[in-house]
Amino acid sequence: MKFCRLGVLALWKGAGPTVVRAMALNIGMLALPLMIKKLLQC
Domain spans, the chain: 2-40
pLDDT at 3: 59
DSSP string, 23-41: HHHHHHHHHHHHHHHHHHT
> pTM to 2 decimals?
0.58
Angle at 10 between CA 13 and CA 18, to 5 degrees: 25
Is residue 42 helix, strand or coil? coil
Asked whether the beta carbons of 7 and 1 are under 8 A apart, the reply is: no
Q: pLDDT tens, 1-42?
A: 565 777 777 778 888 999 999 999 999 999 998 899 999 996
pLDDT at 14: 83
CA–CA distance, 7 with 21 (Å, rounded to integer)? 25
